[in-house]
Structure formats: structure tokens, C-alpha cells
Structure 1
Amino acid sequence: MRYLFEEYAFDTARRELRRGTDVIAVAPQVFDLLDYLIRHRERVVTKDDLIGAIWNGRAVSDAALTTRLNAARSAIGDSGEEQRLIKTLPRKGFRFVGQVREEREVAGPDDALESAPALPDRPSIAVLPFANMSGDPEQEYFADGMVEEITTALSRFKSLFVIARNSSFTFKGQAVDIKEVGRRLGVRYVLEGEVRKASGKVRITGRLIEAATGTHIWADRFERDMTDIFALQDDVTLAVVSAIQPKLFQAELALASRRRPEDLTAYDLLLRAVQQVRPATREGLAEGLRLVQRALELAPRFAAAAALAGACHVENVVRNYAVDPQFERREAVRLMRLALSLDDGDPDTLASAALISALLVGDCETEIEMSDRAVKLNPNLYRAWNCRGWVYKIAGQPEEAIRSFERAMRMSPVDPQTFSVLTGIGFALIELRRFDEAIIAAKKAQRLNPCYPGPYRCLVSAFAHLGRDAEAHEAAARMLEIDPAFTISAWITRSQVSKTAKLMIEGFRKAGLTE
């Protein structure tokens, strides 16, 4: 059923409120309140009516009810003073007094199939209302609030297409067929779950499902003490988003790898490039750059592709792979500026640009501002915290760098790029003279990626500062196997990493590395 009043359309099937073509964000509880008032507009609705229908009879303060009514009025351009559409009758109740026209859609058997939205060309997800398994109405609102928080957190990833909560809540209280949900909402993935309260604890179960096949991509259970309900929501939201965002990306990588080359879009090419770039080998970076350049040919305004191309050029410079280092430097900076000109509001693009600039330009104030803005735009973005760590390390603020690196690891504790974060921690710890801790971090990074030279550089310097010469020489030998052209002066000229690495360089000299 659609209710039409003034310039608004209130769609109970899609759980959408529109003003013209614009969708107005409405919290589920406020939507339910509006729905009840509009459907019962022929009479005065009492406070007890609303509490019974919206809050299942749970005790609700007058202030809470007033807050929801004000939100409902605000959503439809009304106010408590004007009361153009929702009127308060003192000591009686409330009534929707706007002129309403009803519109009921009659669908044929094939209509739903024809009207099903096409899948976007990026990962798409709907977060369904979590089922309340505890029998406690209080948990209903906790679960709804948590789903809203997860939806909002996921929507901060510009690489994801996230269905608005109003549409997802259409399925609240229903036994759903995941394949049907995916088809009706036009999404590739669905997140569902349950909430159960018992013995002072809340247990939340979540499952990420590929809608077309019903395949479970990820599932986990979270159990927390029932103390501060809002802190609990934040805690679980962070855990869920940190787990499913990388899983979504891995699923998309697998999907792209199965497609034929002639079917690839710019987004698929970007995904394939990421796979090639991650190990950071000379061959992988060259292939990744070739793929991402093809993506830019297909979509010249693809900011993420420009940023990744710039990052490939930086890696070639920093790892001494570049045949023409000056050309690679210029290309990295050009592509960084191109990415920013295309989308300077995307946290991933901002994070990449901040790191490229920190490595090659050295404008600390601008780079810190960009990296700070990236994490503010999306506090759940692992890459933004990792880049921020390196930016602050290069800027000579190792304590803040470590805080950023640790936050990144909390975001994604089993991320394929964890070796980079651990190396950054090791570099920062050396400048703080915490050499034993630097060795621990570097050894962890080395185990995760034995072909990455950064951990060995960290080990060389830390061991040398501690007078553990044999271990320093062994680490130096391993590093030179990976980077045989390494000299201290060459390392200093490669990037800005050395600018605030006085103790790192001092350790190199103590270990006897070539100047």
C-alpha cells in the first residue's frame, strides 16, 4: 500500500518515505509510528494505542514518545507548533489530519521478476533485521538499533552498495528466502542474524550469505556482558563490520577471477590488479599496473583505479624496482592528484593519496590533514588507519603512528596486509628506542611475508642497537637477498621514510651496511 499526501509518498511495502524523487531517511520505530497514525487516521489515537502497537506495551516515558513524534513530524515537514499533518489533542491523543490518497499495487505473476532491480557493478549488501530470540521486548530495540548501526557503518565504504534500512526492514518478522531477498532488493549478499539474552549476557549470531546460491561466506557468534547497551551495540558493530568487509572483498575477488577476460569491467580489472599488487613482487606490480591502466582506459574518472596506479608506481620506487625512478615518481604524484580531483571525499582515495604524498612529497601538514579526514569519514576502514600510521611515522610522530597501526590491526586482525602494519610498528618502535619490542613486531611481519624487505631492515637496526651483532648480520644477509642493490644512501634517497628514521639509519651503520 502507498499513502500519498501533499508531496509525500509513504510506501509500506518498501518501507520508504519519499518527497518527490528523494528518499527520506526514517528510523524504523518512527516509520512504524507514522504507519500506525496514517492507517488509523479516521480516529484519535491514544498514547496507550501507540505504546501497544509500536513498543509492544513496554513502559515508555512521555519524553521518549514526544521525541519519536517530533521525528515523525520532521520527516514529513511538520512541527509541534504547526501540527499541519499530525495533530496533538490534549488529554486525548494524536491524529493524522492530512488528506490521504491510497494507492494499492496489483501485481501479476511476472511483474515481480520484471521489476527486480539489476545488480550493481560493485559488491551489494542488505542487512536484514536480526531476529529477537530472547523473548524480551527490550532486545527488539537493541537488535534494531544494532542493525541500523551496522548498515550505517557499511555504507561508509564507497566501494559497497548498501541497501537502506527502510527497505531491509520490509522483511522484519518474516520467514525469508535469502534468494528471494537478494532478487527483490537487487543485492549479491545478505547479512542476517539473531539476538539472544540470557544470564546477564547478550549473544549475537551473524551470517553473511551469497544470495544467488545461498552459500555462507562468513558466520560468527559474539557474546558480551549486558552492561551499557549503546557501548555493546558499538562493540558488536565494529566486530561485525571488521569481519565482513574483508570477506565481501575476498568474495568479489573470487568472482572477478572466474570471469572471462572479454567480460571484464573496470571494477573487475581493479579487483584483479589488487590481487597482483598485494604480494608486492616486481612482476606482480607490473601486471597490476597493466590491469589498472586498462581499467582507467575503460573508466577515465575511476578514482580508485587512479589511486591504485599511483600506489604501484610508489612501490616500484620504494622497492628499487623502477628502471626510471624519476618517471615513476612523477607518475605517482600525477595519479595521486588525479584521484583527488575525481573524488576527494572518498576515505580510501584520501588515505592512498596521503601515503603517496608522505612517501614522495613530504608536506607533513597536508598529509596529516588528509589521513585524519580519511579515518573521520570512515572510522572502520583498515587501510585508512594503516596509511595514517605511515603518515605519522614519516612526520616524526611515532607514538601516534603506533596508535594508528594498532587501530588498523583491531579493524582487521587477519588482514593479508598485516605484515605492512607490523613493519610500521617496528619502524616506530626503533625511533622510540624500544628495540626488543621492534624485534618482536618485525619477526611477526617476516613470518607473514618472508619476501618483504621491511622487517629485515627493522631487525638489522634493532639487533645492532642491542649489540646482537651476529643476528644483525644474519638479518642483513637475508635483506640483501631480497634487495641486493641496497645501500644506506640509496635507501635514504628512495622516499621520505628515512626523513625521521635517525635511529634506524644509525643501526644500519652499526651493522656495517654499505653507505
Structure 2
Amino acid sequence: MIARNSAFTYKGQAVDVRTVSRELGVRYVVEGSVRRAGTRVRVVAQLIDALTGEHIWAEKYDRVVEDIFDLQDEVARAVVVAMAPQIEVPEASRARRVRPDNLSAYALAQRGWAVASASDMAYDHSPRDEAFRWATQALALDAGCALALRTIALVQWWHAYHNTTESMPETITQGLVAATRALALDHGDHHARRWRAQLLFMAGQPDDGLAELRKAHQINPNCALTLSWLGCYEATTGDESKGVPYALDALRLSPRDPSRAAFLAVLGFAHFATGDYAAAVEAAQTALREAPGSPIPHVVGAISWVGVGEIAMAQVEFQRLVQIAPRLAEARLAGRWLSARPRYLQRAHTFLRIAAGMEDPHAADALR
């Protein structure tokens, strides 16, 4: 991050961003404009890869001027939150193009993190296995590489979630150890804390997991992914009334986030928790349009269609789930849900069994 005084030397000049990159030593440039008409102001910002001149992201913000300082804080926060995930995508692509024998421990870990993050909702475990290899190689070079440890925690969480592991206890333990070590190196790493929280849920420690996830959000309230997952666990385990608002806030915080489909799936689970099954179906369908190969929206869809009484639609969703992610379907049919609330567990489990044709549809009547 370059100091504002250095950046302001270019104010009012038509300067090629490549020149800015060379003179200031930066890879990305944020440029924009502010226009005011009466009490309204429009801020336009765009993110540019300063090495190539490529436009990565752009957005405009229309606001009413009441307190100029509050407005500055609001727009700055909005730009930072929206911009952060957009930088990760080109950085991930760049890291994957570099020859492995030219990579440092951090660069190896960065490659692993990028691979794992890009496939977060995917059932296919091969990207996670690849990410694990990069992270392990990074740790072989530097046992104190926090990003590599965080990557292992992320990988093991998704293995546990999708049930793509031969030893659930070993997977959860390995993920928790990695996340705990990452936090010992950097107490403020909200990513590591988020994955540690979710692994605690997997380990059957929902109270500890929820406390840890709330702390991750406190550390970085601008992280939309953390807020989304917090919405999920508040809805299914904590304060149910916060689930949907948090999930919606995450979508508003980062409307173009690469993990938007995951945010929508979480919103679906949160609506299901409150009994708004029609809204849950809508969220699941929107998530599927954005990530058609992901199995998680099919889980939401299957149980939510039963909620609205459309059993045939629920059966279609369940069959698609089995085709895409048989071991995930197996885990949920076995009663493994990320919730500590008995009523939620009973509804989700019963509704999925109905979608699977394993239980009489009338069993849902008393639970709706």
C-alpha cells in the first residue's frame, strides 16, 4: 500500500498506469472520480492491473451526503471489501503460471491457497489434494509458513464437509492442528480462525466453534466470507434471528465475490432454519445458476422443496445430489448436519429422507 502523498503526485495528470507501477513499485492501482450534485454524490472506482493495464473490476456508488466523514468511511469500506476478492483471482492465476522450482515457501503456499479457495464448494477432491501437496512442500521449506498451515486447515475442512476422507477423526484433527498453529504464528489471522471454528463444529464442539467464528468476524468485520458462514451457524446453532440478516449482509458487502454461490447456499440454509422454505428454494436455485456443478445448493433445494410440499421437485434435487456427491449425500442421510439445534436437525434429516424416498412425505407435516 503506497502512501497517499506519493499517489497524489499524479492527481490531475493523464498518466499511464504502467508508469505508476514502475515509479511506485505497485502491481495494482485503484483510480476513480467523485461527482457531486446537491446532496447526492457519485463515486466511481476501478481496479487496474498496473503491469498489463487490464481492468479487473469497476463499481459506482451513489450516496446522499449527510456527514462527509461518514460518507468517506462508508465508500472506503465498500471499495476495500469489493476489491479484495477481485485481487485474489488474478493473483491465483499468476501464481499457478510460475514454475514450481522457482517458488519460495510463501509462493508455494499461495499457490495451494489459491487452488483450494477456487474450488471451495466443489465435491471433486483432486484440487484439494493438489492444494495439500503445495502446502506440504511449503512447510518443508519453512515450518513457520502460516499461509501453508491455513491452507491445510481449509483443505481438511472441505474434505470433512464433503465426506471425501477415509478417516474423519484424522482429517478433523489434522485441520485443527494446522489452524491452531497458524493462529499461534498470527493471532489476527481471521481466515485461520474461521476454518478452525468450522472444524470445531465438525468435531462436535459447536459452542467453541461459534465463539471462535464470532471472534473471526470481530477481527475482520469486512470479510464477507466470514460473515456469511457466521450467518449459517447463527441460523443453525446460535441466534437464529441473526442468520438471514448476516447472510444478506455478506451478499451486500461483496456482491461480485467469487464465493457468491456459497453465500447464496448459506442464505438458503438460514431461510430453512427460520421456516421460510420458499425463500430457501429461491436462494438454492440462484446458487445453482452461479455454480451449477456444486452439490451444496442441491442439499438446500432438496430439503426446502419438501418444506414447501413439492416432493417431486425435492426428489429431483436429491437424485442430482447423489449423482454429483454421493458421499456427501451419504453423510447427510446418516444424520451428520452442521447444527446443534434439535429441531433443525430433525427437520433437515427427515426432509432429506423424504426427498430420498426413504420416508413417508406425511412425516413432514408435523415439522413444517
Shorter chain as denominator, the TM-score bin is 0.7 to 0.9
Matched, 1:477 2:316: no
TM-align CA RMSD: 2.7
In the alignment, what sits opposite 2:354? Answer: 510
Q: What is the aligned counterpart of 1:236 among 75, 84, 89?
A: 75
Of structures 1 and 2, the one scoring higher in RCO (CA 8 A, sep 6+) is: 2
Q: What is the aligned counterpart of 2:2 among 151, 163, 169?
A: 163
Counterpart of 1:238 in 2: which secondary structure?
A: helix
Deviation at 1:322, TM superposition (A): 0.7
In the alignment, what sits opposite 1:222? Answer: 61
Q: Normalising to structure 2: TM-score of the pair?
A: 0.85
Q: Is the 8 A contact 2:231 2:266 kept in 1?
A: yes
**For residues 122-181 of structure 1, what are the alpha-carbon distances to aligned partners after superposition, in whole Å with 9 as ceiling and x for unaligned?**
xxxxxxxxxxxxxxxxxxxxxxxxxxxxxxxxxxxxxxxx23445444555666564444
Q: What is the aligned counterpart of 2:168 among 325, 330, 333?
A: 325
Q: Is the 8 A contact 2:172 2:202 kept in 1?
A: no
Separation of aligned partners in 1, 2:88 and 2:233? 25
Q: What is the aligned counterpart of 1:445 among 281, 287, 299?
A: 287
Amino acid at match of 1:315: W
Q: Counting strand residues as a fraction of each chain, which structure ranks higher?
A: 1
* Aligned counterparts, 1:307-326, within 5 A: 307-326=150-169
Q: Which has the larger radius of gyration?
A: 1
Structure 2, unaligned runs of 5 or more: 360-368
Q: 1:180 to 1:446 in 2, by over 3 A?
A: closer
Q: 1:393 to 1:312 in 2, by over 3 A?
A: farther
Q: Is the 8 A contact 1:209 1:217 kept in 2?
A: yes
**For residues 413-449 of structure 1, what are the alpha-carbon distances to aligned partners after superposition, in whole Å with 9 as ceiling and x for unaligned?**
1222222222222122222111111111111112222
Q: Counting helix residues as a fraction of each chain, which structure ranks higher?
A: 2
Separation of aligned partners in 1, 2:72 and 2:254? 18
**For residues 314-347 of structure 1, what are the alpha-carbon distances to aligned partners after superposition, in whole Å with 9 as ceiling and x for unaligned?**
2112212112222212211211211221212122
Q: Is the 8 A contact 2:39 2:65 kept in 1?
A: yes
Counterpart of 1:287 in 2: which secondary structure?
A: helix
**For residues 246-302 of structure 1, what are the alpha-carbon distances to aligned partners after superposition, in whole Å with 9 as ceiling and x for unaligned?**
222122122213322222233333343244323322212111211222222233222
Amino acid at match of 1:217: I
Q: Is the 8 A contact 2:233 2:339 kept in 1?
A: no
Q: What is the aligned counterpart of 2:91 among 252, 273, 278?
A: 252
Amino acid at match of 2:66: T
Deviation at 1:451, TM superposition (A): 2.7
Deviation larger for 294-303 or 270-279? 270-279
Separation of aligned partners in 2, 1:181 and 1:362? 50
Q: 1:170 to 1:290 in 2, by over 3 A?
A: same
In the alignment, what sits opposite 1:101? Answer: none
In the alignment, what sits opposite 1:289? Answer: 132
Separation of aligned partners in 2, 1:325 and 1:174? 59
Amino acid at match of 1:201: R
Q: Is the 8 A contact 1:405 1:424 kept in 2?
A: yes
How many equivalent pairs are there? 353
In the alignment, what sits opposite 2:364? Answer: none
Counterpart of 2:335 in 1: which secondary structure?
A: helix
**For residues 341-370 of structure 1, what are the alpha-carbon distances to aligned partners after superposition, in whole Å with 9 as ceiling and x for unaligned?**
121212222222222222324241x33333
Separation of aligned partners in 1, 2:304 and 2:337? 21
Matched, 1:370 2:212: yes
Matched, 1:350 2:193: yes
**For residues 87-116 of structure 1, what are the alpha-carbon distances to aligned partners after superposition, in whole Å with 9 as ceiling and x for unaligned?**
xxxxxxxxxxxxxxxxxxxxxxxxxxxxxx
Matched, 1:336 2:179: yes
Deviation larger for 488-497 or 454-463? 488-497
Amino acid at match of 1:395: T
Q: 1:436 to 1:231 in 2, by over 3 A?
A: same
* Aligned counterparts, 1:87-126, within 5 A: none
Amino acid at match of 1:264: L
* Aligned counterparts, 1:185-200, within 5 A: 185-200=24-39
Separation of aligned partners in 1, 2:335 and 2:286? 25
Q: Is the 8 A contact 1:313 1:331 kept in 2?
A: yes
Separation of aligned partners in 1, 2:236 and 2:158? 16
Separation of aligned partners in 2, 1:207 and 1:488? 44
